[in-house]
């Protein structure tokens, strides 16, 4: 949901609107012909930033978020020597003073983006930030094809779009489970086909996969209803002559409330659904495969491993119940940090394009921008 907000912000940014009008051949009467080398430069820059955004979004929104959802920080026991008597006058006890044992919880690896990437590189090499990317690309393409096939059978509308997303998520759940197991496990010789769960395991991951597919639609619906309740102003709704300081402050408050609504839907809808799916899929990982981050295969005692005669697989509800508050806060903080990272990237990209346009258009850039603004 956060990356959705970033993309919508990029599409509707006022600066990009001015930029588009500035380079429009239809309305721009100030600048001359746009040079071919300038077009090539802008296209290559757009492609480079597009690839870069995909890589960063994959590493933050999928790879690290998945590891954060399964990590169970280790607890270390430290032994300290017994305290000696402060003075010789103090009487010694009848029993010997035993060393003091203190339980210390280690800092989670996924609590920091930089620490997680450093840990991944140490485990999987320089391209660890792309671990499982091929699996995820294949999963995305298959989901798209299943959805298109679904719309060949039923008419396309809002209701069937929601149903189609759930169906595609459930059908492609084994592929997503294979991706999850690839991401969370250390390097091994296990093939792609060996990672795909069998039919009995598919029944376990189908429901959480369908729920995750439905959550974005539910988020958008709730945010839309909340925005309607706030009666947010549209672009050009009020003229500049009617704008007052109190009105601006009130609209700013509404937009801040909308941001909090997005954060709330992420915290109470997307994170529970995503964590439940990932943790359910992680329970399918073979016991002979080690994980990249510490992982409690017993899920706080709710699951008995296969080696001890149990199923080794966590159920839908237990997958979320076993995810403690510290882990939920850690995942939420990670999504917040990822959101600001992507916002920063969008700002950098915008300024790079502005600089390139300034170099390409030269002295005609300023008048072109003024003329574009004058059209609004």
User: What integer pLDDT is reported at residue 53 of this predicted model?
Assistant: 94
Q: What percent of the chain has pLDDT over 90?
A: 51
Q: List, as one string, the DSSP characters of 331-369.
A: HHHHHHHHHHHHHHHHHHHHHHHHHHHHHHHGGGHHHHH
Q: CB-based contacts of 94: which residues, under 8 Å, 6+ apart?
A: none
Give the orientation angle of helix 133-153 with respect to helix 158-171, to 10 degrees: 130
DSSP class of residue 87 equals: S
Dump pLDDT digits (tens) for 290-340.
Answer: 999 999 988 988 888 777 777 778 888 899 999 989 999 999 999 999 999
Q: Distance of CA 125 to CAs 114, 143, 272, Å?
A: 15, 29, 31
Give the helix/strand (H/E) hosting 104. Answer: strand 100-105
37 contacts 374 by C-beta, under 8 angstroms: no
Dump pLDDT digits (tens) for 12-63.
Answer: 444 445 444 544 544 444 444 678 898 999 999 999 999 999 999 999 999 9
Inform me whether the pLDDT recorded for 11 exceeds 50. Answer: no
Q: Over range 248-270, report the average pLDDT.
A: 87
Report the alpha-carbon distance of residue 216 to residue 266 in Å, rounded.
9
Confidence of residue 89 (pLDDT cuts 50, 70, 90): low
* Nearest to 28, CA basis, from 364, 376, 359: 364
Q: CB-based contacts of 173: which residues, under 8 Å, 6+ apart?
A: 202, 205, 206, 209, 210
Q: List, as one string, the DSSP characters of 141-197.
A: HHHHHHHHHHHHHS--SHHHHHHHHHHHHHHTHHHHHHHHHHHHBPS-S--HHHHS-
pTM above 0.85, yes or no: no
Helix (H/G/I), strand (E/B), else coil: 235: coil
Inform me whether the pLDDT recorded for 98 exceeds 90. Answer: no
Report the alpha-carbon distance of residue 101 to residue 104 in Å, rounded.
10
* Burial environment of residue 12 by CB neighbours within 10 A (0 to 12, 13 to 18, 19 or more): exposed
Residue 317: CB atoms within 10 Å: 10
Report the alpha-carbon distance of residue 5 to residue 227 in Å, rounded.
14
* Nearest to 319, CA basis, from 127, 117, 180: 180
Which tokens belong to 351?
């300024």
Report the alpha-carbon distance of residue 71 to residue 65 in Å, rounded.
10
Query: What length does the chain have?
Result: 376
Q: Distance of CA 97 to CAs 33, 62, 83, 84, Å?
A: 88, 51, 8, 9
Report the alpha-carbon distance of residue 305 to residue 233 in Å, rounded.
56
């Amino acid at each position: 949901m956060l990356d959705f907000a970033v993309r919508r912000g990029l599409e509707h940014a006022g600066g990009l609107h001015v930029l588009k009008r500035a380079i429009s051949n239809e309305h721009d009467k100030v600048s001359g012909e746009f040079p071919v080398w300038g077009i090539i430069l802008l296209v290559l820059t757009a492609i480079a930033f597009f690839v870069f955004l995909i890589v960063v979004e994959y590493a933050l929104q999928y790879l690290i978020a998945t590891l954060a959802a399964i990590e169970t920080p280790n607890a270390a026991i430290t032994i300290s020597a017994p305290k000696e008597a402060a003075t010789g006058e103090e009487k010694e006890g009848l029993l010997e003073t035993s060393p003091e044992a203190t339980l210390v919880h280690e800092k989670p690896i996924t609590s920091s983006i930089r620490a997680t990437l450093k840990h991944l590189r140490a485990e999987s090499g320089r391209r660890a930030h792309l671990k499982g990317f091929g699996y995820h690309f294949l999963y995305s393409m298959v989901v798209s094809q299943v959805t298109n096939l679904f719309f060949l059978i039923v008419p396309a509308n809002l209701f069937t779009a929601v149903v189609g997303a759930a169906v595609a998520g459930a059908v492609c759940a084994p592929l997503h489970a294979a991706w999850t197991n690839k991401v969370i496990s250390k390097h091994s010789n296990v093939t792609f086909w060996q990672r795909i769960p069998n039919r009995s395991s598919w029944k376990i991951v189908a429901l959480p996969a369908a729920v995750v597919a439905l959550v974005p639609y539910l988020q958008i619906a709730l945010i839309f209803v909340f925005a309607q309740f706030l009666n947010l102003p549209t672009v050009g709704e009020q003229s500049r002559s009617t704008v007052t300081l109190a009105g601006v402050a009130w609209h700013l408050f509404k937009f801040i409330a909308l941001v909090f609504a997005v954060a709330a839907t992420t915290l109470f809808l997307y994170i529970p659904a995503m964590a439940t799916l990932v943790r359910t899929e992680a329970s399918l990982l073979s016991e002979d495969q080690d994980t990249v981050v510490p992982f409690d295969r017993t899920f706080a005692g709710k699951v008995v491993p296969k080696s001890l005669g149990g199923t080794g697989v966590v159920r839908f509800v237990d997958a979320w119940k076993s995810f403690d508050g510290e882990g939920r806060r850690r995942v939420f903080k990670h999504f917040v940090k990822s959101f600001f990272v992507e916002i920063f990237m969008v700002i950098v990209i915008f300024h790079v394009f502005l600089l390139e346009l300034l170099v390409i258009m030269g002295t005609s850039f300023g008048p072109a921008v003024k003329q574009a603004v004058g059209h609004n």
